[in-house]
Chains A and B, each alone.
Chain A
Amino acid sequence: MPEPPAPPPSPGTPFQESIPRQALGLAAWIGLWLLLEARFRHLGLNDRQQLAAFLAILATAGALAALAARAWLFRLLTSVRFAVTQGLFLLGSALLGALPRPGPAPFRSLWGCALLALLAVSMLAVSWKRRPYTLARLGFLLVHGAPSLVLLGVLWGRFDGVRASARLTPGVTVERLAGGGPEVLLPGFGLRLEAPARPPDPRLYAFIPAGADPAGAAGVREVPPGAPTALPGGFQAEQLELIPDAVETGQVMENPSALGEPALRVVLGLGLPSPLVGHLFARGGERSRQDAPGGRFAVVFREAWDPALLASLRPAPARAETLELTAQGRTLRHSAQPGEPWQLPGCTLQVTRAYPDFAVRPGPGGEPEAFSRSDSPREPWLELELAAGAGPPRKLLLSARQPALTDRLNAPHLPAGTRLRYLREGEEGQRRFVVFTRADRQVRLLEDGRLVRTEPLVLRRPFIVEPGLSVTADAILEHTEPVFAANPGPGPGHPVLRVRAGDPRNGSAEACWLEPGTRERPAAPRMLLGGRLGLVYRDRPAGPGERPPDLVLVDSQGRELARGPLAAGQPLEYAGLTFHPDPDAPWGEGVRVVREPGLGLMAAGFACLLAGCAWMFYLKPVLKRREGRP
């Protein structure tokens, strides 16, 4: 048992009796922690490191203060006036938390924790002062012990908790989530959204980014078909043309009012009977590269030159070769090695032959015959047999480099909505690249990861890779828009919508195509009118009475681990994590992943507080009367 504190000195010191002075002291205490928190962030400390530093500083400061002025400190902490001052500061924090502002909630910030810690210590000190304890004082003890429990819960949650969120696109597995700090990686599984089977019903939504609406009425509005819809802030938006089942023709058009990314039109194989004209997109991932016919070099278009390209644009072997099957929103993977049959429900897939450098020539009977021009993996293809039922096996051809061509070739042999791909992860077979850069208008020739030559980018002048081998930049399109046409073939519908947004006050207007999103390119909101208005084309979220989409947890092999509706009030729990719909995500497509280990302590703290209040207010007077006290 520690020694009881020394009796307070008489008379009281001004600080302990003065609420304004105490308020100044508390302001300094909060200011100190604000500075320390900024410093911790500047040093790059993560949540746990910040918490360790917080506890170390708090313990040191407490120990030093107790050694230097134990009686003075005890008198301050047990002063009712100090409780009033702290109440006013907590009130200020609550007001701050109620205002829309960036940063964590006050009670999660270090300064909020420091304020709560001071309150908890004060309450414990007051409880100590009220010894000896009687039954009548149980309520008092519960109330004054409660902040310590809440504080412990908050600190534990900060130390070992998870609060992260992600936007979900149906069918796409997400393994990384955005948290308050670095990305959060889910432990060995991914999240996928499975929309219920219902006819596609995409809708157009408009929103005004925060701060751009002078009337302060920013929010999401649906833009129905028909006449232009008036939006908050004086804007208008309308649907122009809907192609319910569209195919992108691979062409782009220049449209000064479109916000599409810049593209480079190049001509490959000049002098050949059929030169290839293609568009490369500066920020288009796969779409920023085109391999020349014959595979002797590749052309890349980038926004700016980055020396890191020397490391990425060089030959590299494949880390793994896999087959990827996507059907009904599920993705399964299997080795792509010949002789390893893949048993699937109702069918078997088997790789029968691999072509590292695929080409076709006339066979002995005149029929086309596949062969490999070399052993170098320039154009790797696989030949597979799909055996289902009693019929003869069907032959499939998969190209690692041309996934879209693979889809078209195999569509007649696979069930609708099923896709089979050949993946060679991490592989780069090309050794020679011509890199066009938009910012500095240069062309660079790279060979085996070395910069060989640099020339200015001059339109319509061939860049000679080697004698007889060239690429010509034909045009740079600053504002591009894809060209769509109605899809004549079978398959799932792919709607695209042409929309226009305008500001009648200054007569400005912009038009663009919107897609609801695909696996390769999840749709992002399109910002128009200089970023003042956003438009997004999404499938309609589940309405009241409709089945919400399922949230599915899958392991790395695509096996389902857990499943539940992504709906408010129906959280899914797995591996100590709770999955909720994210209320901050528009269109209800976000998931919020939470682990709150301190929840029990915080709940216990609140329960003690309420039970203690009830005891103090209503039971204590009865008990006192029984004890014969006033």
Chain B
Amino acid sequence: MNAVPAPAALLGAAGFAGFSQALLGAAGFAGFTLGAWLGAWSLWAAPDRAARLERAALQAIRAGFLLLGLALTAGAAASWRAAGRLWPGDPRSAWILIAWLVWFTVLHVHRVKAFKGRTATIAGLAGWVFSLLAFLALGRLG
């Protein structure tokens, strides 16, 4: 049997958990966006203000990371309930996982002594651009 798309009835069956996934995913990415842009600002700011901006950026990224983790869990719960699968396999969930792993890497980059400061901030910006490109590419796939 050739693969065909899932019936619309199943696609729309994510329920509350699926709605939560979308909401948490959007909030998580908002955190990343804020973190990335605060980081970008810190690159041109005076040294004392740059340190404060970097700390604020890290807090925003951490909040985004936690929210995206919750979004992943909500997606897995919705998929398990709807179709007995832990991994939904839809573009939205794939993008959330990719963004989450990007920021997992970025958070660890912040912990490498040699990368702290400017390098970590640039890594954060690159991660944000990568997440955005992944979002656009997966939107086309879906």
Residues of A at under 8 Å CB distance from B?
80-81, 83-84, 87-88, 90-91, 94-95, 97-100, 105, 107, 167, 207, 209-210, 218-220, 525, 534, 541-544, 567-569, 571, 578-584, 586-588, 592-594, 596, 599, 602, 606, 609-610, 613-614, 617
Contacts and interface: CB of A to CB of B under 8 A. Distances in A.
Contacts of B19: none
Contact of A610 (B9, B66, B76): B66
A585 to B, nearest CB: 8
Interface in B8-27: 9-11, 13, 15
A586 B4 contact: yes
19 contacts: A80-B108, A87-B108, A91-B101, A91-B105, A97-B94, A98-B98, A98-B141, A210-B2, A571-B84, A581-B10, A581-B83, A583-B10, A583-B85, A586-B7, A592-B84, A594-B85, A596-B84, A599-B86, A613-B65
Contacts of A544: 9
B69 to A, nearest CB: 5
B62 A95 contact: no
Nearest to B82: A568
Nearest to A602: B86
Contacts of B82: 568-569, 580, 583
A599 B73 CA distance: 12
Interface string B19-45: 000000000000000000000000000
A318 B57 CA distance: 79
B70 A568 contact: no
B3 A87 contact: no
A91 B7 contact: no
B51 interface: no
Nearest to B98: A94
Contacts of A581: 10, 83
Given A80-B112, A569-B15, A588-B7, A525 B1 contact: yes
Given A569-B15, A571-B81, A578-B84, A219 B5 contact: yes
Nearest to B77: A603
A609 B69 contact: yes
B98 A95 contact: yes
Given A580-B82, A580-B83, A586-B4, A541 B9 contact: yes
Contacts of A105: 87, 89
Contacts of A209: 2
Contacts of B63: 617
Contacts of B70: 610
Give 5 closest A-B pairs by Cβ, nearest first: A568-B13, A98-B94, A87-B105, A580-B84, A594-B84
Nearest to B3: A210
Contact of A541 (B7, B62, B86): B7
Nearest to A592: B84
B83 A87 contact: no
B122 interface: no
A543 B72 CA distance: 29
Contacts of A584: 3-4, 6
Contacts of A567: 13
Interface of B: 1-7, 9-11, 13, 15, 59, 62-63, 65-66, 69-70, 72-73, 76, 80-87, 89, 91, 94-95, 97-98, 101-102, 104-105, 108-109, 111-112, 134, 138, 141
B4 A220 contact: yes
Contact of B98 (A91, A569, A614): A91
Given A84-B108, A90-B101, A94-B101, A207 B2 contact: yes
B112 A81 contact: yes
A98 B9 CA distance: 22
Interface centre among B2, B3, B98, B108 (most CB of A within 10 A): B2
Contact of B2 (A534, A568, A588, A592): A534
Nearest to B134: A95
A599 B81 CA distance: 13
A97 B141 CA distance: 13
A98 B86 contact: no
B83 A583 contact: yes
B137 to A, nearest CB: 9
A571 B138 CA distance: 29
B97 to A, nearest CB: 5
B38 to A, nearest CB: 16
B128 to A, nearest CB: 14
Contact of A592 (B83, B101, B109): B83
A593 B11 CA distance: 19
A464 to B, nearest CB: 45
Interface centre among B4, B108, B138 (most CB of A within 10 A): B4
A481 B140 CA distance: 42
Contacts of A91: 98, 101-102, 105
B98 A107 contact: no
Contact of A617 (B4, B66, B101): B66
A610 B69 contact: yes
Nearest to A205: B4
A164 B86 CA distance: 14
Contacts of B95: 98
Contact of A207 (B4, B6, B104): B4
A97 B72 CA distance: 15
B73 A587 contact: no
A587 B10 CA distance: 11
Interface centre among B3, B63, B102 (most CB of A within 10 A): B3
Contacts of B3: 210, 584
A594 B3 CA distance: 20
B141 A84 contact: no
A603 to B, nearest CB: 8
A613 B4 contact: no
Contact of A98 (B65, B66, B138): B138
Contacts of A98: 91, 94-95, 97-98, 138, 141
A87 B5 contact: no
A83 B141 CA distance: 30
Contacts of A592: 83-85
Contacts of A219: 4-5
A84 B69 contact: no
Contacts of B66: 610, 613-614, 617
A126 to B, nearest CB: 11
Contacts of B97: 94, 97-98
A406 to B, nearest CB: 33
Nearest to B66: A613
B54 to A, nearest CB: 16
B101 A220 contact: no
Contacts of A617: 59, 62-63, 66
A79 to B, nearest CB: 9
Nearest to B91: A98
